[in-house]
Each structure stands twice: as C-alpha cells, then as structure tokens.
C-alpha cells in the first residue's frame, strides 16, 4: 500500500502544474493547438485519479484553457467533485471553474445544491464566501428556490463579510426566483441601517437596482434614502441613491421639490473641487465629478418637470445651472468629459429643449471632433434640437459632413440621422417638401451606402402622403430613372439601387404628373434594367404597365393613334427579356402584362378605344396603412376564435391536415374596406380625437391658431396657392446642388413674411396707441409663425375603425423584472411578521412538495 502511494507520488511529480502549462503554451506558439490537445489528454488522465489534489490541479489547468476559448463542459462532474473537497484551496479552484463554465444547461448543477448548502453553513467564513461568489455566477431558478432561505439567514450572519455577500447575491436570487422577494424584503430593509458601511452600501445597491425597474413599490423607502443621502459621505452610495431618486421622482411630486435643495448644493460643492483636481492630476478618476452631473441633471430635470406641472415656477434656475455646468464639461479637452456632458445634455433636452438650444454652436462644433463616439452623441443631440427654423441649416451642415466623412459606417450613420431628423414626428419640422426631396436626391449620389432602402422608403412616404408635392417628386424621379449612374452602381441588396424601386413606383402611380411618359416608359424598359435585383425589376415591369395606361390615355382620342400603337409595339419588343428572367416574380408579371398588351394591340388594330379600360386596371388610391392596423382589426361579432372548426382530430389522423383558415371568408371584406377612400367625416373625427389628445398632453408644444388653420382647411391639391417666388430654379439640371437654392429661397420668404407682419403690427399699434403705453416688442420670431411654403395635406395613416394608436403591445412578457413587481408596503418590518412570513414560506414550500426546504427548517 505504501509502495503504491510512493509510486503514485513519483508519477505526480511529473504532472504539469498551472505555471508549467502556461509556460508551455507560450513556448509553443506555432503548434499551440497540438500542444494543448496533448495537455487536454494528460488532464483527462489526471482526472481519473482518486487523489483530490491532482484533480484540483487538473481543473485549474482546465480553467485556464477555458479562458483561451476551449470547451471544458465535459469535465463538469469533476468540477463538482473538486468543489466538494474539504480543503479551502481546492474548493476555491472548483468554484472558480464552476463560475466560469456552468450555465443553466449544465446537468450536474443539481448535484451542487447540497454541497453549496453545506458550504453556506460552514464555520469558515471564507468557505461561505467562496460559495456565495461562485453561486452568483451560475444561479438557476432551481438553485435559487432551494437556497433562498439559507441565503436569507446568512443576511443576518455575525460577520459583515458574509452579510455583504449574502445581500448582494439576493439580487440574483430575486431575478431567478421572484417569490423570494416578499419574505426577504423586510430583512433587506433592515440592512439599510446596518452598522457596517459595506453591508449598508450593498443593501443600497440591491434596492436601487430593484427600484429602478419597479419604482412605485419602493416609494415608501424614500425618506430613509433621503436621510442616507444627506448623511453619507461615500461617493459610491450617493451616486446610487441619486440614481434611485431619479427613478422615483416622476411618481412623487413632493419628492422632487424636496430634492432640489440638497442636489443643487451638491453640484456647487463637488464640481468645483473635482474640476480643480482633474486639472491637477491628469489621470485621476473623476468620480466626485460624475456624482452631481450625470445623475443629478437627470434627477433635477425630472424634479423640475414635476414641480412645473404642479405650478411652481422657480426651478428653471436649477436647469440653467445644470446646463451651464454641462457646458463646462463639454468644453473640456478630456474626451470622456465631453462625452458625458453631451450625454447628460441629451437627457435634459427631452424635457427642456429651449435651454439646450442656445448651445447649438457648441454641439455643431462637436460634430467636427475626431472621436466617433462624440460625433454620434452630438448627432443624437441635434436630433432633439431641430426646429422649423434651423432644420435646413443643420441638414446643410450635416450634408457637408457626409461629403467629407471618411468611413462608410459613419457616413451611413449620418445618412440615417439626417433622415431621422427630417422625418420625426410626421415631418413636423419640414416647411418645404421640395427641399426635402432634393436632399433625398442628393443623398442618392452617395456611393457604397447600405441605406438605399431608407432613402427609397422616405421618397415613397413623402410622395404618397404629401399630395402637393407629387408633381415635383415625379419630375425628380423621372430624372433619376434616366440617369445612368444608378444603374451602374452596386447591385447588392439595400444598395443605392433601391432608390430606383421608389422612383419607378412613384412614376407609375402618379404618372398623370409626368411631362413625357413615353420617355420614362422607354427608360424603364432598357435592357440594362435586367441587371437590377429581382424585386426592383418586378416593380419596373408593373409600373411600366401603369405608364402604358397613361400613355394610351394621352394619345388616344388625339389624332395621333399611331403613337399609341407604337407604345404597344415597344412593350411587346422589350417585355420578353423580362419574361426570361430568373426571378419568379418578374417572370410572372412580365408574362401577364405581355399577354395583356398583345391583346390590346389586337384591339388597337381594329381601332377600338381601349384607354379607358386599361386605366381602369389601375384605378383607386393606395393609402398608407398604420403599422399596428392589423392588430387592431376588431374580431367580427359572432366569431369565436377558440371554437373548434372541425371535429377535433383523432389520434390516427395525419398531422398535415391544416385547419380551415378562419379568416378566409373575412379577409376580402376587410381588405376592400381599407381601400375605400377615407371620407371627410372620418377625417374630421380623427382630427378631433387628435386635438383632444394634444390638448390633454401638457408637454405638447401647441402651434398658434393661424398655422393650425392652414393644416385643417387645405382640402387638397386644388387649393395650392401660387408660390410668390419669381426665381427661376432650374429643376432639370442634374448634378447641380439644388438644396442651396431652397435655403436662400426660404430665407427670403421668411424675411418677406416678417416684413409683412411688421407692417400689419404697426397698423395695429397705431390703432391701439391710446390704450397701451408700453411698446410691444415683436420679440424673437417664434417658431409657430413660420408658415410652410406649400400647403401640405399630410394623409394620415389608416387604421380600422375606432382603433386608437397605442403602445401597449410592446412590452416583453419574459422580463424577469415584471415578476418582481409586487407591492411591498404590506410587509412591515417587525420581528413577528418576519417569522410569520418565513413560516408561511415554509408551509407554501411544503404544499408544493418541496421537501428540502422544510427539512432545513425542521433541523
């Protein structure tokens, strides 16, 4: 026996330990994989030994290999063995390996439950500590359920070291096993007043995290936290508490008012000290700095918001203070500070756009920064800072950036942002849609972008919904179709050739505005078109048919019946190319239309008037449909979705039988309803509903009655006023930057308006001179006074009747924090209650048949 041991230990002397392994790997840089696979074989041998020390060594090496990227899940059982060793060293190694590689799918986790429980009740605090640390990484719902009570008792352990860890791990346990929150909460609350600062901050941490997600349950703790905030000097804790208040203030208005004082003090005191420190020690971590700025700004802005809505006026001073300090941050040369300043500004922007707008110059400067993150933040800010006045200017600057942007990702980002900025809130800020279309066309000149579809969808959107602009849009699109460069551009999906999709569709749908439909038709059917992606070709073919209808209408009836026949001939010549296309959709459409045209040609040869019938093919307006419309379709009465349609299938029947589609009969009715044009009454009703909503919304910036009237009374295309601008803007010269012209036009138009207004005001003042003593300053031109260049009738999206646009359906049903949303006020922390809760838990567990917990309690 002794000989065996000696022999064994000699063998073991040649085992590699961790250091050897690492050194070995470093020395074998060329054939690393081979070396490692030999090592793994050796490790497998070692794991078969009985000696726990050897196993632990092997597991340690495995952990290292796991870090390098090798899978060690096959050794899970051995890891559990090592975890169960009584020696601290090995136990530690075991838990480390477990925390690195165990996850919910690991089968052997259930074997660890009892082991962990033993360790949790071990007299050695480091054993417990190691178990808690390891557990936090791989806790599963089962483990959480089984061990929740043990951990709860540990929260009242004598050693603060253990208490701290137990408190922190409870958060993870709550996430996995929400039912443990109720019994644990009173104890957690006690820990907030624990004498040991470590435990206290741990408790603050946990409650802050919980409260962030479900703030209303933790409102009752607000006074306690307030006390902590004013008395604590630990920066970390303070930051957490302030963040917590940020989440609570929206729910409790009085809290906001109370907080203003201490928070402003904090800003004043901390910022001065730490800015000085930052300038002195370059590398210092600016923790004291962050304390007021990022969190507080949000908090204060929340608070001010609440107090504003409840009628207290004087807190704009605190917002001004915040914005000032943020400006200092942004102007600092340290990139991190800049970034944070911009971040905080964008948060304030949401609630107080006016105070931020005065810093527009600084933000635009940040756009020039070399650091991409800062540029992106500045872009985000701009998004919130646009107004009708400065939209054109800002977009002009952004276009300059697009031109000189280096990489395509940044350029793409810019493009997305430009479009986002312009299209926000239903194009609220665009006063001149012609300008917007010209911007979109300029954007198509970008090469190598991946957002072609975005531009395309914008063009479509604008053309459909802004009736007044269709003429201009169609002209531009015809130009695009003609231009060769888009066809030779890259053909990948979402490339810039997507724009042709939009162009073709717009030309086809609104072909009545085209000057020369023949020309466009010809351009659509060029052979080069066959090299475009399939979906674009399909659109081309379909719209060629629509154009054909328009051409027929134009030429028939006129003396020029030959032109009509020529068109048919053209189509018959060119379409066969598409019929042979590899794409099914293109093939189908092309062959349908080809047949149709052949038939029409026959009729034409007999001199029959076909134009009317052909245009009837494409009659009816297609209106935009709201995105949630499908969900809001009401279930028709008398329809029970849960009732069986057929007899329930017996076991022997095949599973391929599909039940009869419930909506098969209903669908045609619904789709037809959607195509009927929205009539006046419906529009008026919807407008009323919208106005109501806006009136009730305190944050909606109301426009003045004059511009609102403009939107309402414009019944459509017939009432477009003559635009009084005499400049001859050459619209058909490709390659010329047209958007500049619009900027100048806009400026002149506004100046004219201002001059007119002043004349009117002066007349008014002469009349009222006797009444008023003071001279009424016309003041800065407010946003609402700018009337748009064209009267715009934006078609609203369609929804099924009586449906309201709402956002309820977006929440994630699997969110663990939803399960933690329980009312905790009922649980008053008193000793009897705690005991009562624990017994209740035990009885509950017993009912569920969970014997392990009850056994623990009976011990």
Partner 1 sequence: MRFMLLFSRQGKLRLQKWYVPLSDPQKKKISREVIQMVLARKPKMCSFLEWRDLKIVYKRYASLYFCCAVEDQENELITLEIIHRYVELLDKYFGSVCELDIIFNFEKAYYILDEFILGGEAQETSKKIVLKAIEQADMLQEVGPIYFMKAFSARWAI
Site for partner 1 in 243-272 (CB under 8 A): 243
- Exactly one of 101, 188, 306, 421 binds partner 1 (CB under 8 A); that residue is 101
Stretch that binds partner 1, among 81-89, 348-356, 624-632, 793-801 (CB under 8 A): 81-89
- The three-point CA angle 562-568-573 to 5° equals 125
Is residue 296 at the binding interface for partner 1, with CB under 8 A as the rule? no
Which residue has tokens 């504003």?
Answer: 308
Is residue 87 at the binding interface for partner 1, with CB under 8 A as the rule? yes
Q: How far is CA 544 from the centre of its chain?
A: 38
Is residue 55 at the binding interface for partner 1, with CB under 8 A as the rule? no
Helix axes 452-465, 433-443, angle to 10 degrees: 160
And the tokens for 536?
């674009």
Residue with smaller CB distance to partner 1, 225 or 436? 225
Footprint of partner 1 on 195-214 (CB under 8 A): 197-198, 201-202, 205-206, 209, 212
Torsion angles phi and psi, residue 805, rounded to 5: -70, 120
Is residue 138 at the binding interface for partner 1, with CB under 8 A as the rule? yes
Q: Number of residues in contact with partner 1, rule: CB under 8 A?
A: 73
> Following DSSP, what letter does each residue of 127-193 receive, concatenated?
HHHHHHHHHHHH--HHHHHHHHHHHHHHTT-SSHHHHHHHHHHHHHHHHH-GGGHHHHHHHHHHHTT
Is residue 370 at the binding interface for partner 1, with CB under 8 A as the rule? yes
Residue 807 CB, shortest distance to partner 1, in Å, is 19
Is residue 487 at the binding interface for partner 1, with CB under 8 A as the rule? no
CB 795 within 8 A of CB 465: yes
Is residue 618 at the binding interface for partner 1, with CB under 8 A as the rule? no
Residue with smaller CB distance to partner 1, 56 or 462? 56
Residue 357 CB, shortest distance to partner 1, in Å, is 24
Residue with smaller CB distance to partner 1, 37 or 314? 37
SS (H, E, C) 535-555: HHHHHHHHHHHHHHHHHHHHH
Which of 621, 584, 583, 617 shows the shortest CA–CA distance to 600? Answer: 617
110 CB contacts (<8 Å, ≥6 apart)? 142
Residue 107 CB, shortest distance to partner 1, in Å, is 14
Residue with smaller CB distance to partner 1, 59 or 385? 59
Q: Helix (H, G, I), strand (E, B), or coil: what is residue 794?
A: strand
CB atoms < 10 A from the CB of 658, how many? 6
Burial of 64 per CB tally in 10 Å (0-12, 13-18, 19+)? middle
Q: Helix (H, G, I), strand (E, B), or coil: what is residue 368?
A: coil
Burial of 108 per CB tally in 10 Å (0-12, 13-18, 19+)? middle
Is residue 164 at the binding interface for partner 1, with CB under 8 A as the rule? yes
For residues 734 and 490, what is the distance between their CA atoms, to the nearest angstrom? Answer: 20
Footprint of partner 1 on 331-350 (CB under 8 A): 335-336, 338-340, 343
> Following DSSP, what letter does each residue of 72-105 receive, concatenated?
-GGGHHHHHHHHT-SSHHHHHHHHHHHHHH--TT
Residue 242 CB, shortest distance to partner 1, in Å, is 9
- Exactly one of 58, 239, 266, 304 binds partner 1 (CB under 8 A); that residue is 239
Residue 287 CB, shortest distance to partner 1, in Å, is 5
Footprint of partner 1 on 682-721 (CB under 8 A): none
Which residue has tokens 């470093």?
Answer: 26
Residue with smaller CB distance to partner 1, 89 or 265? 89
Is residue 64 at the binding interface for partner 1, with CB under 8 A as the rule? yes
Residue with smaller CB distance to partner 1, 88 or 663? 88
Q: Helix (H, G, I), strand (E, B), or coil: what is residue 466?
A: strand
- Exactly one of 6, 11, 18, 569 binds partner 1 (CB under 8 A); that residue is 18
For residues 137 and 319, what is the distance between their CA atoms, to the nearest angstrom? Answer: 42
Residue with smaller CB distance to partner 1, 202 or 525? 202
Q: How far is CA 817 from the centre of its chain?
A: 19
- Exactly one of 74, 77, 88, 599 binds partner 1 (CB under 8 A); that residue is 88
For residues 840 and 179, what is the distance between their CA atoms, to the nearest angstrom? Answer: 12
Residue with smaller CB distance to partner 1, 10 or 68? 68
- Exactly one of 6, 285, 558, 736 binds partner 1 (CB under 8 A); that residue is 285
Residue with smaller CB distance to partner 1, 242 or 430? 242
- Exactly one of 67, 272, 684, 717 binds partner 1 (CB under 8 A); that residue is 67
Residue with smaller CB distance to partner 1, 16 or 396? 16
Residue 256 CB, shortest distance to partner 1, in Å, is 19
Is residue 675 at the binding interface for partner 1, with CB under 8 A as the rule? no
Residue 672 CB, shortest distance to partner 1, in Å, is 42
Residue with smaller CB distance to partner 1, 298 or 614? 298
Q: Residues of 344-359 as b/e, b for ≥16 C-beta within 10 angstroms?
A: bbbbbbebbeebbbeb
Is residue 311 at the binding interface for partner 1, with CB under 8 A as the rule? no
Footprint of partner 1 on 776-805 (CB under 8 A): none
Residue with smaller CB distance to partner 1, 270 or 628? 270
Residue with smaller CB distance to partner 1, 372 or 667? 372
Which residue has tokens 């056994």?
Answer: 855
Residue 222 CB, shortest distance to partner 1, in Å, is 19
Stretch that binds partner 1, among 18-26, 178-186, 601-609, 664-672 (CB under 8 A): 18-26
Footprint of partner 1 on 498-557 (CB under 8 A): none
């Amino acid at each position: 026996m002794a000989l065996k041991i000696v022999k064994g230990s000699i063998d073991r002397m040649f085992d590699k330990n961790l250091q050897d392994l690492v050194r070995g790997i470093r020395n074998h840089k060329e054939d690393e994989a081979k070396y490692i696979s030999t090592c793994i074989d050796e490790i497998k041998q070692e794991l078969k030994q009985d000696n726990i020390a050897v196993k632990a060594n092997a597991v340690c090496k495995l952990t290292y290999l796991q870090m390098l990227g090798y899978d060690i899940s096959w050794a899970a059982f051995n890891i559990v063995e090592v975890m169960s060793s009584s020696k601290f060293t090995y136990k530690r190694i075991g838990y480390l390996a477990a925390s690195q590689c165990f996850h919910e799918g690991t089968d052997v986790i259930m074997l660890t439950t009892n082991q962990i429980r033993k360790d949790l009740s071990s007299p050695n605090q480091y054993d417990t500590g190691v178990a808690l640390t390891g557990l936090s990484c791989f806790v599963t719902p089962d483990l959480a359920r089984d061990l929740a009570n043990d951990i709860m008792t540990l929260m009242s352990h004598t050693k603060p070291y253990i208490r701290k860890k137990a408190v922190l791990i409870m958060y993870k346990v709550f996430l996995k096993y929400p039912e443990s929150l109720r019994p644990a909460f009173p104890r957690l609350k006690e820990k907030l007043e624990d004498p040991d600062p470590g435990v206290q901050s741990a408790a603050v941490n946990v409650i802050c995290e919980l409260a962030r997600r479900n703030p209303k349950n933790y409102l009752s703790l607000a006074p306690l936290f307030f006390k902590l905030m004013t008395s604590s000097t630990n920066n970390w804790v303070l930051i957490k508490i302030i963040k917590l208040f940020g989440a609570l203030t929206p729910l409790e208005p009085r809290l906001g008012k109370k907080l203003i004082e201490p928070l402003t003090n904090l800003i004043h005191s901390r910022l001065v000290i730490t800015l000085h420190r930052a300038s002195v020690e370059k590398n210092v971590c600016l923790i004291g700095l962050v304390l007021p700025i990022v969190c507080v700004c949000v908090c204060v802005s929340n608070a001010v918001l609440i107090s504003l809505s409840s009628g207290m006026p004087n807190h704009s001073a605190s917002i001004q203070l915040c914005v000032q300090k943020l400006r200092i941050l942004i102007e600092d040369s340290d990139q991190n500070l800049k970034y944070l300043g911009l971040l905080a500004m964008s948060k304030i922007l949401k609630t107080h756009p006016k105070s931020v707008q005065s810093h527009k110059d600084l933000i635009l400067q940040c756009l020039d920064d070399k650091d991409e993150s800062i540029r992106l933040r500045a872009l985000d800010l701009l998004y919130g800072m646009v107004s009708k006045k400065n939209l054109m200017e800002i977009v002009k600057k952004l276009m300059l950036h697009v031109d000189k942007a280096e990489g395509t990702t940044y350029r793409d980002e810019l493009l997305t942002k430009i479009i986002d900025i312009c299209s926000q809130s239903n194009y609220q800020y665009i006063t001149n849609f012609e300008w917007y279309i010209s911007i979109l066309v300029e954007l198509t000149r970008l090469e190598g972008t991946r957002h072609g579809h975005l531009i395309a969808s914008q063009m479509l959107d604008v053309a459909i919904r802004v009736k007044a602009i269709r003429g201009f849009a169609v002209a531009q699109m015809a130009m695009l179709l003609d231009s060769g460069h888009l066809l030779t551009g890259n053909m990948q999906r979402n490339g810039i050739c997507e724009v042709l999709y939009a162009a073709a569709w717009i030309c086809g749908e609104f072909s009545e505005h085209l000057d020369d439909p023949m020309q466009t038709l010809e351009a659509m059917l060029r052979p080069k078109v066959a090299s475009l992606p399939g979906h674009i070709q399909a659109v081309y073919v379909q719209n060629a048919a629509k154009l054909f209808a328009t051409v027929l209408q134009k030429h028939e009836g006129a003396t020029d019946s030959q032109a009509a026949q020529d068109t048919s001939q053209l189509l018959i010549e060119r379409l066969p190319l598409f019929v042979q296309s590899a794409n099914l959709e293109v093939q189908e459409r092309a062959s349908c239309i080809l047949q149709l045209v052949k038939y029409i040609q026959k009729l034409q040869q007999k001199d029959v008037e076909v134009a009317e019938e052909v245009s009837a093919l494409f009659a009816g307006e297609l209106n935009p449909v709201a995105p949630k419309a499908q969900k809001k379709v009401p279930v028709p009465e008398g329809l029970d979705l849960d009732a069986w349609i057929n007899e329930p299938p017996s076991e022997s029947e095949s599973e391929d039988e599909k039940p009869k589609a419930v909506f098969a009969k209903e669908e045609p009715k619904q789709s037809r309803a959607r195509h009927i044009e929205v009539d006046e009454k419906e529009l008026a009703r919807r407008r009323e509903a919208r106005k109501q909503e806006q009136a009730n919304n305190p944050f909606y910036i109301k426009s003045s009655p004059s511009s609102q009237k403009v939107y309402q009374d414009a019944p459509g295309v017939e009432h477009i006023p003559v635009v009084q601008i005499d400049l001859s803007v050459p619209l058909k010269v490709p390659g010329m930057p047209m958007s500049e012209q619009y900027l100048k036009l806009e400026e002149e138009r506004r100046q004219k308006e201002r001059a007119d207004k002043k004349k009117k005001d002066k007349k008014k003042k002469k009349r009222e001179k006797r009444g008023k003593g003071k001279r009424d300053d016309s003041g800065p031109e407010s946003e609402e006074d700018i009337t748009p260049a064209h009267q715009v009738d934006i078609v609203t999206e369609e929804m099924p009747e009586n449906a309201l646009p709402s956002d309820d359906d977006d929440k994630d049903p699997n969110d663990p924090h939803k399960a933690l949303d329980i009312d905790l006020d009922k649980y008053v922390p008193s000793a009897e209650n705690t005991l009562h809760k624990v017994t209740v838990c035990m009885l509950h567990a017993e009912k569920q048949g969970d014997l392990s917990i009850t056994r623990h309690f009976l011990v």
